Chain A
Amino acid sequence: MTLLAEQLLNGLQLGVMLFLLAAGLTLVFGIMGLINLAHGSLYMVGAFASAWVQQRTGSFALAVLAGLAAAGGTGIAVEALVLRRLYAREHMDQVLATFGLIMFFNELMAILFGRQPLMASIPGFLSGSVELIPGVPYPVFRLAIILVGVAVAIGLYYLISHTRIGMLVRAGATHRDMVRALGVDIVLLYTFVFGLGAVLAGFAGLLTGPLLSVQVGMGDRILITTFVVIVIGGVGSVRGALVGAMLVGMVDTLTRAFLPGMLRGVMPASSADALGAGLSSMAIFILMAIVLLVRPRGLFPAHG
């Protein structure tokens, strides 16, 4: 029971992280029509910049600022130099060009920081654990991630549903041509949306740093998971991204935690662990395939 509670919290924490990544990715697809594989690179850039600054200065606040700035800056630069030319292109071209960007950024990080993982540490005031539920000690840092994630989700909701720029974003996601026709400075809107997505991705990266190691290629794995999230949610829909992120976070965490144990009942422990790990890695893809077969456009399709 206590294990279940802990794993549920872990699932929530992974879901929050995925939402930070998915929100930007899904908006960029919904508004610009762009499949951006390089989104994972922004996550990596944020994580590296933050870990490096933290190692140098020891300041968590500076590290956070550095991570956000690096990811946002990189995102805006990439949008202006490369991605802008891809909006009107076929999906295939977008996939390829942004795949090239992944190669570039992975290698750039390897040159700048080496292939050895960087270690980021949890700042003092967020270390240790608390007993939220009696008998279940839970790391403060993970709890903080959940809270921050929820705050960001609420902030995004407010931004999108209550502000002028949010109105444009919503309109852009459903009626791309109309927004253009209204004479809105579309270039500025695109840069804003892309920058926002990049900052959120970098934020997810720097929060992940102390939990996992910061290393080259860290964005590749999570990128595919993020795509699973937005496809399940319905590409272009922020609400879909939220629901998809929670679903994927839970399914992934719970199968990883409990499937090997269940399999041990029917086979030797070592094969059960290997097969359990494999099957739980597959779980989110199976989930996505099922969702797409029932609803080919995801749970909350954005375009009518």
Chain B
Amino acid sequence: MADNRRHAAVLGLTFLLLLLLPQLATALSKPDLLTLGSQIAIYAIAAASLDLLIGYAGMSSFGHAGFFGLGGYVVGILAFHAADNSLFLGIVPGLTDAWLVWPIAIAVTALAALAIGALSLRTSGVSFIMMTLAFAEMLYFLFVSLKTYGGDDGLGFRRRNALPWIAPRDDVAFYYVCLAVLAIFLIAMRHLVQSRFGMVLQGLRQNERRMAAIGVAPYRVRLAAFTIASAGAGLAGALNANLLRYVSPDSLHWTMSGDLMVMVVLGGAGSLYGAVLGAAAFVGLQSVLAQWTEHWMIAMGPILVCTVLVARRGIWGLLAGRR
């Protein structure tokens, strides 16, 4: 019970802080805080979706950024075609409405994940790590080579996707949109891991042979989890493209996959909420350390190593005790 109360306290405080962030930014006259907050919320969605794989399913995907970037490119490419009234592949017109673009981004990423997962899941262990990495790298080089969409330089666009009642240039409103999406996403994920499907998934992490021997088809369950998690990354990527009004191949690079894994583990794998703390810590440390020295990674690296070596349950474990 004490643990539960601590949970609620940590969760409540975090959420309150996030809710009041725009006011805080104004009070401290640090408008950058707002962008930082949106970035945290977006990375938190991507990290929480990765946590479903790493923390619950025991699937070490090293290609999560591939889906994150893909979601972003769906937004960017549709905006590009909307701007000059051209057609994508000669058939699809450009789009700028969030209620259309975001679901398309999710659907495209899910389809890609279904195909990539179907192949990658035929391997396991190191080979699975490398397969997911390989497919993400293929996506990376695909977008690097598409000169129409900016190639190496990436693709910028003028306006965020249109949302009802919200002015496209209102950064505070966009921050709250990100926060709301994060909250809904976390609630959905929480339900997912406690559902029948979630129990089966956690069973598979613990003992695959046993699960098969009680009648589970491991491949299909894992493929479903891979697709759901990747679609979550696609959603985060779509939001990220909107935040920056820009997408680039960097968002699909393998080091981005590494960063997402760092957030999961820093925050505490297998807790979902840890992903929020991990994203906050990563983005926060990055900006704090970057003010102090341009060489912020010289500190980030050892922090990460120490987290893995000694504080395995991450920040969430530190703050909230047992999950």
| Chain A interface residues (CB < 8 Å from chain B) | 29, 35, 82, 85-86, 89-93, 95-97, 99-108, 110-111, 220, 224, 227-228, 231, 235, 270-271, 274-279, 281-282, 285-286, 288-289, 292-293, 296-298
Stretch touching chain A among B128-136, B174-182, B230-238: B128-136
* Cβ-defined contact, B144 with A231, below 8 A: no
Chain A residues with CB below 8 A from B298, complex form: 103-104, 107-108, 111
Report if B203 contacts A (CB, 8 A): no
With A285-B138, A292-B123 as known contacts, state yes or no: A100 contacts B304, CB within 8 Å. yes
* Cβ-defined contact, B145 with A279, below 8 A: yes
What is the CA–CA distance of A29 and B126 in the complex, to the nearest angstrom? 10
* Cβ-defined contact, B60 with A91, below 8 A: yes
Q: Is the interface of B mostly helix, strand, loop or mixed?
A: helix
Q: Which of B141, B297, B301, B309: most chain A CB closer than 10 A?
A: B301
With A35-B129, A274-B146, A278-B144 as known contacts, state yes or no: A106 contacts B297, CB within 8 Å. yes
What is the CA–CA distance of A111 and B301 in the complex, to the nearest angstrom? 14
* Cβ-defined contact, B295 with A107, below 8 A: yes
With A29-B126, A110-B295, A289-B131 as known contacts, state yes or no: A275 contacts B145, CB within 8 Å. yes
* Cβ-defined contact, B147 with A100, below 8 A: no
Chain A residues with CB below 8 A from B262, complex form: 96, 99-100
* Cβ-defined contact, A224 with B133, below 8 A: yes
Q: Which of A101, A271, A292: most chain B CB closer than 10 A?
A: A292
With A289-B131, A296-B127 as known contacts, state yes or no: A101 contacts B145, CB within 8 Å. no
Min distance, Cβ B291 to any Cβ of chain A, angstroms:
16
7 A–B contacts from the bound complex (CB under 8 Å)? A91-B129, A103-B300, A106-B297, A224-B254, A277-B145, A282-B142, A293-B119
Number of A-B contacts (CB under 8 A): 137
Chain A residues with CB below 8 A from B296, complex form: 107
Report if B151 contacts A (CB, 8 A): yes
* Cβ-defined contact, A288 with B134, below 8 A: yes
Chain A residues with CB below 8 A from B138, complex form: 282, 285-286
With A231-B130, A281-B144 as known contacts, state yes or no: A99 contacts B304, CB within 8 Å. yes
Q: Is the interface of A mostly helix, strand, loop or mixed?
A: helix
* Cβ-defined contact, A103 with B304, below 8 A: yes
Chain B residues with CB below 8 A from A96, complex form: 258, 261-262, 265, 304, 308
With A104-B298, A271-B147, A286-B138 as known contacts, state yes or no: A97 contacts B304, CB within 8 Å. yes
Chain B residues with CB below 8 A from A29, complex form: 126
* Cβ-defined contact, B142 with A289, below 8 A: no
* Cβ-defined contact, A103 with B297, below 8 A: yes
For chain B, residues 109 to 129, give those with C-beta under 8 angstroms from any C-beta of chain A: 119, 122-127, 129
Report if B80 contacts A (CB, 8 A): no
What is the CA–CA distance of A228 and B138 in the complex, to the nearest angstrom? 13
How many B residues face the partner with a CB closer than 8 A? Answer: 44
For chain B, residues 252 to 272, give those with C-beta under 8 angstroms from any C-beta of chain A: 254-255, 258, 261-262, 265
- List the 6 shortest-distance A-B pairs measured between CB atoms, nearest first: A278-B145, A104-B301, A100-B304, A103-B301, A107-B298, A281-B141
What is the CA–CA distance of A232 and B202 in the complex, to the nearest angstrom? 30
Min distance, Cβ A44 to any Cβ of chain B, angstroms:
14
Using CB atoms, name the residue of chain B closest to A236: B126
What is the CA–CA distance of A266 and B295 in the complex, to the nearest angstrom? 46
Using CB atoms, name the residue of chain B closest to A108: B298
* Cβ-defined contact, A220 with B141, below 8 A: no
Chain B residues with CB below 8 A from A82, complex form: 305, 309
* Cβ-defined contact, B144 with A220, below 8 A: no
* Cβ-defined contact, B309 with A289, below 8 A: no
Chain B residues with CB below 8 A from A100, complex form: 262, 300-305, 308
Min distance, Cβ B240 to any Cβ of chain A, angstroms:
21
Chain A residues with CB below 8 A from B134, complex form: 228, 285, 288-289
Q: Which of B122, B124, B138: most chain A CB closer than 10 A?
A: B138
Q: Which of B145, B295, B302: most chain A CB closer than 10 A?
A: B145
What is the CA–CA distance of A296 and B135 in the complex, to the nearest angstrom? 16
Complex partner residue of B127 from A99, A231, A281, A286, CB under 8 angstroms: A231
Chain B residues with CB below 8 A from A271, complex form: 147
- Besides A107-B301, A224-B254, A292-B122, 4 other CB < 8 A contacts? A91-B125, A95-B258, A228-B130, A277-B144
With A96-B308, A282-B138 as known contacts, state yes or no: A292 contacts B131, CB within 8 Å. yes
* Cβ-defined contact, B304 with A274, below 8 A: no
* Cβ-defined contact, A104 with B308, below 8 A: no
What is the CA–CA distance of A282 and B146 in the complex, to the nearest angstrom? 13
What is the CA–CA distance of A210 and B267 in the complex, to the nearest angstrom? 42
What is the CA–CA distance of A97 and B261 in the complex, to the nearest angstrom? 11
Report if B56 contacts A (CB, 8 A): no
Report if B250 contacts A (CB, 8 A): no
Report if B273 contacts A (CB, 8 A): no
What is the CA–CA distance of A211 and B137 in the complex, to the nearest angstrom? 24
What is the CA–CA distance of A95 and B130 in the complex, to the nearest angstrom? 11
* Cβ-defined contact, A102 with B130, below 8 A: no
Min distance, Cβ B65 to any Cβ of chain A, angstroms:
13
